[in-house]
Amino acid sequence: MQLITCPWCGPREEVEFHYGGQAHLAYPDDPAALSDEEWAHFVFFRDNPKGPFAERWSHAAGCRRWFNAVRDTRTYEFLDVYPMGQSAPEVAS
Amino acid sequence: MTTPQPPGAHLPDHPDFLWRNPEPRRSYDVVIVGGGGHGLATAHYLARNHGITNVAVLERGWLAGGNMARNTTLIRSNYLWDASAAIYEHALKLWEGLEDDLGYPILFSQRGVLNLAHTEQDVRDSVRRVEANKLNGIDAEWLSPDEVAKVCPIVNVSGDIRYPVLGATYQPRAGIAKHDYVAWGFARRADEAGIDLIQDCEVTGFTVDGDRVTGLRTSRGDIGCGTVALCAAGHTSVLLDQLGVRAPLQSHPLQALVSELLEPVHPTIVMSNAVHVYVSQAHKGELVMGAGVDSYNGYGQRGAFHIIERQMAAAVELFPVFARAHLLRTWAGIVDVTPDASPIVGRTPYDNVYLNCGWGTGGFKATPGLGWCLADTIANGEPHPYVEPFGLDRFVTGALVDEHGAAAVAH
pLDDT in tens, B98-144: 999 999 999 999 999 999 999 999 999 999 999 999 999 999 999 99
- pLDDT for the residue numbered B11: 79
Distance from CA of A13 to the nearest CA of B (A): 10
Give dist(CA A6, CA A13) in Å, integer: 10
Greatest CA separation for chain B? 69
Whether ipTM > 0.90 holds is: yes
Residue A39 has pLDDT above 60, yes or no: yes
Beta strands in B152-304 (DSSP E): 167-171, 175-176, 196-198, 203-209, 212-218, 221-230, 250-261, 269-272, 277-281, 286-293
Name the band, by pLDDT with cuts 50, 70 and 90, for residue B411: very low
- Cβ atoms within 10 A of the Cβ of A54, count? 20
Distance from CA of A35 to the nearest CA of B (A): 9
Chain A residues with CB-CB distance to B296 below 8 A: 19, 55, 71, 73, 76
Does the CA dihedral B227-B232-B234-B237 come out positive or negative?
Answer: negative
The residue among B294, B396, B400, B402 with the most chain A CBs within 10 A of its CB, best to mutate, is B396
| 3-class DSSP assignment, residue B4 | coil
- pLDDT for the residue numbered A51: 97
Give dist(CA B50, CA B272) in Å, integer: 40
Chain A residues with CB-CB distance to B400 below 8 A: none
CB-CB under 8 Å, A36 with B304:
no
Give dist(CA B254, CA B291) in Å, integer: 8
- Cβ atoms within 10 A of the Cβ of B79, count? 27
Distance from CA of A36 to the nearest CA of B (A): 6
Angstrom CA distances, A33 to A41, B397, B398, stand at 14, 17, 18
Residues 6+ apart with CB under 8 A from B364: B37, B67, B68, B71, B72, B73, B74, B75, B179
Choose among B251, B296, B395: nearest Cβ to A19.
B296
Strands B221-230 and B250-261, sheet pairing: unpaired
CB-CB under 8 Å, B237 with A48:
yes
Does the CA dihedral B383-B384-B388-B390 come out positive or negative?
Answer: negative
Choose among B246, B296, B299: nearest Cβ to A45.
B246
Name residue B247's amino acid: A
Q: CA nearest A7: which of A55, A65, A78, A77?
A: A65
Q: Which residue of A has its CA nearest to B244?
A: A47
- What is the mean predicted confidence (pLDDT) over A57-75? 97
Flag whether residue B208 sits within 8 Å of chain A, measured between CB atoms. Answer: no
Give dist(CA B116, CA B103) in Å, integer: 36
- Cβ atoms within 10 A of the Cβ of B290, count? 23
Residue pair B296/B368 in contact by the 8 Å Cβ criterion: no
Residue pair B169/B129 in contact by the 8 Å Cβ criterion: yes
- What is the mean predicted confidence (pLDDT) over B360-371? 96
Chain A residues with CB-CB distance to B337 below 8 A: none
CB-CB under 8 Å, B305 with A1:
yes
Choose among A18, A45, A55: nearest Cβ to B248.
A45
What's the whole-number average pLDDT of chain B? 95
H-assigned helices in B118-274: 120-135, 145-151, 179-192, 236-243
Burial class of residue B317 in the structure, from the number of CB atoms within 10 Å of its CB (0-12 exposed, 13-18 middle, 19+ buried): middle
Residue B405 has pLDDT above 80, yes or no: no
Phi, psi of B70 (to 5 degrees): -125, 5
- pLDDT for the residue numbered A92: 59
- pLDDT for the residue numbered B344: 98
B3-29 residues labelled b (16+ CB within 10 A) or e (exposed): eeeeeeeeeeeeeeebbeeeebeebbe
Higher pLDDT pick, B225 / B6? B225
Q: CA nearest A23: which of B300, B396, B297?
A: B297
- pLDDT for the residue numbered B1: 59
Q: Among the listed ranges A50-64, A77-91, B140-154, B227-241, which one has the minimum average pLDDT value?
A: A77-91
Give dist(CA B397, CA B96) in Å, integer: 35
| 3-class DSSP assignment, residue B256 | strand
**CA angle B106-B109-B110, nearest 5°?**
135
Choose among B238, B305, B339: nearest Cβ to A50.
B238
